[in-house]
Amino acid sequence: MGRTHRVRSRIRKRRAESGADSDSDIFNELHRYLGRAGWRNESRLSVRTFQSTGRGLCSKQNLHPNDLLIRVPFHCLISLKTLEHDPDFNALFNSVENFPQKELSFQGLLAFYVIFHQHRAQSQHQTYMTTIPEFFTNPFFCAKQELHFLPDAILEKIVAQNQEIKAFYELLSKEFTSAVCECCSSPLFPNIFGLDQLKWAYFAVNSRCVYVDPKVVVGWVPNSYFLRLIKDEPKLALAPFIDLLNHSDSANTISQITSNEPFQYELYTQRGYSRYEQVFINYGELPNSKLLVEYGFYIPGNKHDFFEMALTDIELLMKSRNVVGHRNKFKFIRDHNLDQQMFIHRDEGPSHNLVVALYLLLVEESVFPNVLSQVAFGSSEHFESLIHDEIRTLVQLKLEEYEKFLKGLEDFTSRTESGEVVLGYLKECISYLSKFLCNY
């Protein structure tokens, strides 16, 4: 049984147990659950399926700039505070003597909390758990054969994600090596919690959390036990219903936690929407490569997009021109972080660092660090005209590389849903690079 199938069966089972058999039942149940917790649907939001994004939210009334998008009692969110006040979750950690401090990421801890509650039939979060999608479309979940057609920049990020999740799983397995579940007496690892489940939960948390001010949350739980275990700030919270809002590059939202009791999480929209038009949240000004890797989608024509280049791309260009780069030059570029922020922008052209790196490697004759320094940090305005052809060739080579990936993935007929998203992403990149060449 594959990962997706296993996760789907488990969620179906959970949905059947909760008496909800269709999407609308699930969201009606979520509505009632939040209602019992004190939520009022002030902006008359409603769950719909939209052609461009799938499941999302719209309002049954017009929304104006600066209107409230949603306001939810803070205790409905799953934050550090929730974990701290959960007796069963605390008991589990208390069963381990000296759990290592500052080793867990908060995202990982939330992912573990999700699978912990997913397993428990009597979980107070059962209604919310049924609304988490059965699978995610991040390239992380591509089939092995599809990985051959992924650009290096994406592959490197998948490898890093995999290492992080595996290390986290190994840490949990090691610490809870003799722990058994109090509801069914089975050993926790690996019998109840498998690596595949944690992978699913990791991306569930990644794509469904909202940002909450960690100072506010920490202030509510002085002497927090879990705060001692995590190595980063508890700035994430799972947010029932709010997590149905999709991201748009043209949305502009402001969030806040009210300063008086009862504490509420509020989201305001900076732009207006007409009734039944999909309303959006904005995760930040993110390019498509980031949206794809972290959240499993991309936006056609994303206005915050740019295309990153790596030193290896410049090396390919040099090879095609029979230029041998001196190691001093590479060392200089790396030492001064000029290999970071190397990108092209469709309308604004190549970035400063890309221009400087190309000039140093392909035009500059000196290899002495003091001369390279004078060149790199002096006036570089005239460089771009000197390496215009190099930039074009660099982009041309990238275009050919992506067209090959696209062709390979198109020929691979049994694509996963992640593979489908990557296919669209490659087409989007090809269109972006082509437009750049037209303008440049």
- Binding Zn ion (rule: CB under 5 A), the pick from 181, 310, 399, 437 is 181
Question: Does 184 contact Zn ion by CB under 5 A?
Answer: yes
Binding span for Zn ion by CB under 5 A among 109-117, 138-146, 183-191, 253-261: 183-191
- For position 183 contacting Zn ion by CB under 5 A, the verdict is yes
Q: How far apart are CA 285 and CA 305, in angstroms?
A: 8
Q: Do 68 and 256 form a contact (C-beta atoms < 8 A)?
A: no
Tell the smallest beta-carbon distance from residue 184 to Zn ion (Å): 3
- The Cα–Cα gap between 429 and 432 comes to 5
- Centre a 10 Å sphere on the Cβ of residue 76 and count the other Cβ atoms it contains: 21
Structure tokens at 199: 């992978």
Pair 102, 229: CB distance under 8 Å: yes
Query: At a CB cut-off of 8 Å and minimum separation 6, what does 314 contact?
Result: 357, 358, 361, 394
Please tell me whether residue 386 binds Zn ion under the rule CB under 5 A: no
Note whether 179 binds Zn ion by CB under 5 A. Answer: no
CB of 96 to Zn ion, least distance (A): 17
Is 350 in contact with 384 (CB distance < 8 Å)?
yes
Q: How far is the CB of 30 from Zn ion (least distance, A)?
A: 24
Pairing assessment for the beta strands 264-269 and 253-257 based on DSSP bridges: antiparallel
What b/e readout covers 265-293, taking b as 16+ CB neighbours within 10 angstroms?
bebbbebebeeeebbbbbbeebbbbbbbb
Nearest approach, Cβ of 186 to Zn ion (angstroms)? 6
The least distance separating Zn ion from the CB of residue 183, rounded to whole angstroms, comes to 4
Of 9 and 101, the one with the shorter C-beta distance to Zn ion is: 9
Q: Please identify, using beta-carbon distances, which residue of 43 and 126 lies nearer to Zn ion.
A: 126
Q: How far is the CB of 182 from Zn ion (least distance, A)?
A: 7
Closest CA to 372 of 387, 391, 357: 357
**Closer residue to Zn ion in complex, CB, 147/179:** 179
Stretch that binds Zn ion, among 17-25, 153-161, 174-182, 290-298 (CB under 5 A): 174-182
Contact region with Zn ion (CB under 5 A), list: 102-110, 184-192, 225-233, 359-367: 184-192
The stretch near Zn ion (CB under 5 A) out of 110-118, 178-186, 199-207, 249-257 is: 178-186
Select 119 or 208, whichever has its Cβ closest to Zn ion: 119
Strands of 264-269's sheet, edge to edge?
68-73, 264-269, 253-257
Per CB under 5 A, contacts with Zn ion among 218-237 are none
Nearer of residues 129 and 356 to Zn ion, judged by Cβ: 129
Q: Is the dihedral of CA 190, 193, 199, 202 positive or negative?
A: negative
Q: Minimum CB separation from Zn ion for residue 89, in Å?
A: 13
Interface residue list for Zn ion (CB under 5 A): 181, 183-184
